[in-house]
């Protein structure tokens, strides 16, 4: 049985911190699920992590559905959240409903995530009213990175902080089951968390949120050239993988791989008959 949105909300009442990770493929999702992570986000960050885009903006619905299906196939317990990509919920509520439904019907996800606060609250309410759980996302919203002037901490002025409080309130009233706070000052995140009756999930938002989310490649150290300030590398797999590949190349060149251990045999008499023919 998969964890439910009600169980996620109950974790806040029990003061139980929530660990959330991204995953984009079946094999990685299986490991994350088996490790006990209750929330897996199929983030549009896959555009940069897997597809080589410069931002999340070029990611399409078809790409998101493709990867969501793979993650769902690899998991049994975690609640899977599909990240609705750029402009798939902005033009009309009907578009938003249709695309949210695709994540559930085609992708197999149990919830979707939208960026924005007050401006998307009506859309969020309609999606929730149709029976699709929604996770909110405020603070730095990567799909609006051009408007925000880059990847900057949000809510540092009184006016900006008040807007984020209003955004969180609007999303809660619209029916979201949790809200991601990205690059929000820790004291403001703490205040939003105290005021909200639903869980907050922080990324670069300090230690006082109800949970934390990290991009799996950051956590595993798959990219050695850049580590975001808010990320912690629990492993440094880029170097390990590079070394393993180097060892493989060396053994292929030397002829020490493969050996009989990695090969199959056959009846030698059959081989003799083939040689005579």
Which residue out of 54, 182, 261, 273 is catalytically annotated? 182
3-state secondary structure of 213: strand
**Positive or negative torsion for Cα 265, 269, 272, 276:** negative
Catalytic site includes residue 182 = yes
Tokens representing residue 145 in the block: 């990175």
Is 199 in contact with 171 (CB distance < 8 Å)? no
Q: What is the dihedral of CA 63, 215, 85, 108, to 10 degrees?
A: 60
Runs of H (alpha helix) within the chain: 5-13, 26-35, 46-49, 61-73, 93-105, 121-129, 145-148, 158-174, 186-195, 216-220, 237-254, 268-276
Catalytic residues: 182
């Amino acid at each position: 049985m998969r964890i439910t949105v009600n169980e996620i909300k109950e974790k806040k009442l029990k003061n139980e911190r929530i660990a959330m990770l991204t995953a984009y493929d079946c094999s990685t999702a299986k490991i994350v699920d088996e490790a006990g992570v209750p929330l897996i986000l199929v983030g549009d960050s896959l555009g940069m992590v897997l597809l080589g885009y410069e931002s999340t903006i070029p990611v399409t619905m078809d790409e998101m559905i493709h990867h969501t299906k793979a993650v769902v196939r690899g998991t049994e317990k975690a609640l899977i959240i599909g990240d609705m990509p750029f402009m798939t919920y902005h033009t009309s509520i009907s578009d938003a409903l249709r695309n949210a439904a695709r994540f559930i019907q085609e992708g197999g996800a149990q919830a979707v995530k939208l960026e924005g606060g007050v401006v998307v609250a009506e859309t969020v309410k309609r999606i929730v009213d149709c029976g699709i759980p929604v996770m909110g996302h405020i603070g730095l919203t990567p799909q609006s990175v051009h408007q925000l002037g880059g990847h900057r901490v949000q809510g540092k002025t009184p006016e900006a902080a008040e807007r984020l409080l209003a955004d969180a309130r609007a999303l809660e009233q619209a029916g979201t089951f949790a809200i991601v706070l990205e690059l929000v000052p820790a004291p403001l995140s703490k205040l939003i968390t105290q005021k909200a009756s639903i869980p907050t999930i922080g990324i670069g938002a300090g230690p006082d949120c109800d949970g934390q989310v990290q991009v799996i490649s950051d956590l595993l150290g798959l990219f050695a050239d850049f580590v975001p300030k808010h990320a912690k590398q629990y492993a440094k797999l880029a170097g390990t993988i590079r070394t393993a590949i180097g060892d493989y190349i060396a053994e292929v060149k030397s002829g020490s791989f493969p050996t009989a251990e990695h090969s199959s045999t056959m009846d030698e008499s059959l081989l003799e008959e083939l040689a005579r023919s």
